[in-house]
Amino acid sequence: MERPVARSSPAAGDPAAERRPRGRPRKTLHDRDDGNRRQEVLRAAARLFRRKGFHATSTRDIAAAAGMRSGSPFYHFKSKGALLYAVMEEGMRSAILRQQAALADAPAVPQERLRLLVRNHFDILLGPGSDFIPVMLYESRSITARQRTLLAQLQGDYEAPWLPVLDGLHAAGRLRADVKLARLLIFGALNWSAQWYDRRKGASLDELTGAALQLFIGDCP
């Protein structure tokens, strides 16, 4: 949808390309049009949007980070805004898949399911390659209302498995607060970690998960 229906034929056979004097650096001689360029643009954008913010990042920054010229990102995405949305959507789809995988072999006891959900959430937010979801969390002002609606559906899918778990803990008396508010407060506690967590120092994700579980559902009895 962001990509033209038909692409021009590959540059192969273009004599100028073979004689190119000092081309920009390429990883290999044959990686052009290998279909990964779009992903590279997406990854570069996620990284820069997270570090500097959407409006502080120029499409030229993104192009340079992906080893392209300034106009080339627009071959893959029809606008800067479409690129931002693509980062967010990709982040959500990946998060949902990873969450489903994490729950696949989970026990039914809500306390352990919550631990898996929290641990997975931290991993999505703070683990390697974790730029996409923070961008979604912190740049939502910059997308259109329609895009926000579409994302809200994916977020609903992501939150769906949390609700029965929290309800179960509430029913068991381990979560005293109103479940609706508790959910919002819990996501806040987790999401905010993207602002302060430093992978190279401090607690591990397991320690973080343990602290969160203790904070939310204690171990009083």
Which residues are at the interface with a second copy (CB under 8 A)? 51-56, 138, 141-142, 175-178, 181-182, 184-193, 195-196, 203, 207-208, 210-212, 214-216, 218-221
- Comparing CA positions, the residue from 184, 192, 95, 83 lying closest to residue 142 is 83
Query: How many C-beta neighbours within 10 Å does residue 137 have?
Result: 17
- Can you point out the beta strands (E) in the chain? none
- Comparing CA positions, the residue from 216, 215, 211, 86 lying closest to residue 162 is 216
Among 65, 81, 123, 167, binds DNA (CB under 7 A): 81
The angle subtended at Cα 162 by Cα 201 and Cα 191, nearest 5°, is 30
x-or-dash string of contact with DNA, 6-25, rule CB under 7 A: --x---------------x-
- Comparing CA positions, the residue from 201, 219, 193 lying closest to residue 118 is 193
- Comparing CA positions, the residue from 212, 117, 208 lying closest to residue 163 is 117
Residue with tokens 């004689």: 19
Establish if 75 lies at the interface with DNA (CB under 7 A).
yes
Q: Which of residues 159-218 bind DNA (CB under 7 A)?
A: none
Picked from a second copy, DNA, none, the partner binding residue 80 (CB below 5 to 8 A depending on kind) is DNA
Establish if 151 lies at the interface with DNA (CB under 7 A).
no
* Long-range contacts from 52-60, C-beta under 8 angstroms, 24+ separation: 53/138, 53/139, 54/80, 54/84, 54/135, 54/139, 54/142, 55/142, 59/83
Establish if 63 lies at the interface with DNA (CB under 7 A).
yes
Read off the tokens for 197: 């967590």
Nearer to a second copy, 15 or 188 (CB): 188
Among 65, 78, 98, 106, binds DNA (CB under 7 A): 78
Establish if 44 lies at the interface with DNA (CB under 7 A).
no
Nearer to a second copy, 54 or 77 (CB): 54
**Size of site (CB under 7 A) for DNA:** 26
Establish if 50 lies at the interface with DNA (CB under 7 A).
no
The nearest distance, CB 186 to a second copy, in angstroms, is 7
Picked from DNA, a second copy, none, the partner binding residue 3 (CB below 5 to 8 A depending on kind) is none
Establish if 28 lies at the interface with DNA (CB under 7 A).
no
